[in-house]
């Protein structure tokens, strides 16, 4: 019986590694010179139910592979936490076609890159002008960029 349970766990790991269970890998890469705290969460778009939550303290030049997201329509949010407060927040939509979510950060910038496969456009969310980003304030509200003209 124990051998069967051990084998079942091994097969689950192999299936998850090769993407048979409908998961989206996440990678976090620190390009910072100091340690930063990040909070990751996702909510199902249709129901608003929280589907993912992880927190990490990431050291300079560290790369982390947190647990995968489910391959469903979700809103994925990354918050940089400083003194128990969200000081920088980025949010992006994840679809069933998403292949990878990459979170990169420096001491001054937080970026989410979403590889949506061949069928959809890839998205980079970094909060700078010229990107499809809409930064989110720490209370969870999207903030509008009033300095740019959408017709430009």
pLDDT in tens, 46-94: 999 999 999 999 999 999 999 999 999 999 999 999 999 999 999 999 9
Q: What is the 3-state secondary structure (H, E, C) of 6-33?
A: HHHHHHHHHHHHCCCCCEECEEEEECCC
pLDDT in tens, 4-22: 444 445 545 554 455 445 8
Backbone angles phi, psi at 17, to 5 degrees: -60, -40
Report yes or no: 32 and 44 within 8 Å, Cβ to Cβ. Answer: no
pTM above 0.85, yes or no: no
Rg (CA), the chain: 17
Give me the residue label for tokens 């992006």: 92
Q: Which CATH code for domain 22-125?
A: 2.60.40.4150
């Amino acid at each position: 019986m124990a051998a069967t349970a051990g084998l079942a766990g091994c097969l689950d790991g192999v299936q998850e590694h090769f993407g048979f269970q409908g998961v989206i890998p996440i990678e976090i890469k620190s390009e910072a010179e100091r340690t930063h705290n990040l909070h990751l969460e996702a909510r199902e778009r249709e129901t608003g139910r929280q589907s993912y939550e992880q927190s990490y303290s990431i050291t300079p030049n560290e790369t982390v592979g947190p647990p995968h997201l489910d391959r469903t329509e979700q809103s994925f949010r990354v918050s940089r936490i400083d003194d128990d407060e969200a000081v920088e927040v980025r949010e992006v939509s994840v679809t069933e076609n998403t292949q990878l979510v990459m979170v990169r950060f420096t001491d001054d910038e937080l970026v989410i890159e979403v590889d949506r496969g061949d069928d959809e456009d890839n998205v980079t969310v970094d909060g700078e002008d010229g990107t499809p980003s809409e930064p989110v304030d720490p209370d969870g509200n999207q903030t509008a960029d009033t300095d740019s003209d959408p017709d430009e």
